[in-house]
Structure 1
Amino acid sequence: MHVFAVLIAAYAILAYGFRPLGEFVGPEMRANFQAHQLGIYTHVFAATIALLLGPFQFIERLRRKRPRLHRISGRIYLGVGVGFGGLAGLYMASFAYGGPVAKLGFAGLASAWLYTGWQAYRAIRRGDVATHRRWIVRNFALTLAAVSLRILLPLSGISGIPFATAYPAVAWLCWIPNLLLAEWILAGQITPRFFSNSR
């Protein structure tokens, strides 16, 4: 999880920080990005912060030995990464390539990301650590939609599915299975080592 998160974050920094905007996407998406530069840059770089900080929030040793660092990085993760990233994602969803199905898929992802982040924040503010951890598991599963998206799109291309057909489906498939897996973990059906101290 750390590796995938860092790789996708590195890709985002390279593609959006050092290359012309939209260089690695098709012409329609490129035109869309260029027409809404503030929205796409805010979404990409805020989400990159979430990808880089999120995995460390689950490390038990860090939470136990450096609680202040855990709190500070958690505030940045939720406030900057999820907050700004989610709001910008919700805005950009209205312009998403792929028609209404893709727009609704990405809007659903952004809304769920913001909602789970808000619930995690509310829980920790009232001192309910157990509930906070459950909401953060859901929230980070949605953060990892950035990873799922970049796995599913190449796989669909290799499978011969036209991009225009695959993209609206991927707008949903990049996050709903992640959320279902999170619920399965929280229900105790499986206990990955990474989440073993997070329930």
Structure 2
Amino acid sequence: MTEVKSRAGWLVPAGLIALSAVPLLAGGLRLGELAGGADVTPANARFFAAPLPVVAHIVAVSLYTVLGAFQFAPRFRRRRPGWHRGAGRLLVVCGLATALSGIWMTLFYALPAGDEGLLSVFRLGFGSAMAVCVGLGVAAIRRQDVRRHRAWMTRAYAIGLGAGSQFVVLLGWSLFAGTPGEQTRALLLGAAWAVNVVVAEWIIRRRGSGF
């Protein structure tokens, strides 16, 4: 029975990492493109012109989604409290870097058609919300308020996991309704973030802690 519970405890982290798999792969390909000196095209010119923000974003969000997934394994957390605290400090840095680099790119990169307007509003809104959640999570743990710390960090992780949910939502829409237009795509991407936040709130209220 103990072995079964132990295996079950890894289902959530495994599912979170699986949800992140395609964005992680895409990020790795982008880094390879930048490092390998690929041809500059209208789709990637902004990254070659200013590579630091996108490199920081990819590295930060990759560490954030993978390491963050293990914070949702309660038995692992309890058995290795030192790892939890150490990884948590790194996750704070990665979470803020993810949010702030995403905001910077939205504000200062020359965005391709379809990424302006409503989608930019969503990116700025959710990026700002993620940074605030991380900050509130840090403030809570400094007050020794573990319950609120876990809740705020759960919210931040849900937003940071947005790219994985967005891939699933866009794939589902494309399979059943065809390629979405610019406005529909923006709404779908925003909806994917919103779904993550709703699920996080449900977990927080159901368990009273966010984990």
* TM-score range relative to shorter protein: 0.7 to 0.9
Q: Which has the larger radius of gyration?
A: 2
TM-score normalised by the chain length of structure 1 = 0.82
| Amino acid across the alignment from 2:106 | A
Residue in 1 that maps onto 2:8 = none
Q: Percent identity?
A: 27
1:32-71 equivalences under 5 Å are: 32-71=46-85
**Residue 82 of structure 1: SS of its match in structure 2?**
helix
CA–CA distance in structure 2, aligned partners of residues 4 and 185 of structure 1: 19
The answer to whether structure 1 residue 2 and structure 2 residue 2 are counterparts is: no
Residue in 1 that maps onto 2:193 = 175
**Residue 179 of structure 2: SS of its match in structure 1?**
coil
CA–CA distance in structure 2, aligned partners of residues 30 and 64 of structure 1: 44
Specify every segment of 5 or more residues in structure 2 that has no aligned partner in the other structure, as ranges.
1-14, 36-40
Residues 62, 9 of structure 1: alpha-carbon distance in 2 compared, 3 angstrom cutoff? farther
Say which of 143, 148, 151 aligns to 1:126. 143
The answer to whether structure 1 residue 151 and structure 2 residue 164 are counterparts is: no
CA–CA distance in structure 2, aligned partners of residues 34 and 153 of structure 1: 27
| Amino acid across the alignment from 2:170 | L
Contact 1:106–1:171 (8 Å) recurs in 2: no
Contact 1:149–1:170 (8 Å) recurs in 2: yes
| Amino acid across the alignment from 2:166 | L
CA–CA distance in structure 2, aligned partners of residues 175 and 144 of structure 1: 8
| Amino acid across the alignment from 1:46 | A
Residues 36, 116 of structure 1: alpha-carbon distance in 2 compared, 3 angstrom cutoff? same
| Amino acid across the alignment from 1:182 | A
| Amino acid across the alignment from 1:139 | A
Deviation at 1:28, TM superposition (A): 4.6
CA–CA distance in structure 2, aligned partners of residues 3 and 44 of structure 1: 15
Residues 9, 150 of structure 1: alpha-carbon distance in 2 compared, 3 angstrom cutoff? closer
Deviation at 1:40, TM superposition (A): 1.3
CA RMSD of superposed structures (Å): 2.5
Residue in 2 that maps onto 1:138 = 155
TM-score normalised by the chain length of structure 2 = 0.78
Residue in 1 that maps onto 2:3 = none
Contact 2:159–2:193 (8 Å) recurs in 1: yes
Specify every segment of 5 or more residues in structure 1 that has no aligned partner in the other structure, as ranges.
22-26
**Residue 44 of structure 2: SS of its match in structure 1?**
helix
The answer to whether structure 1 residue 105 and structure 2 residue 86 are counterparts is: no
| Amino acid across the alignment from 1:36 | A
Give aligned pairs, total: 188
Residues 148, 6 of structure 1: alpha-carbon distance in 2 compared, 3 angstrom cutoff? closer
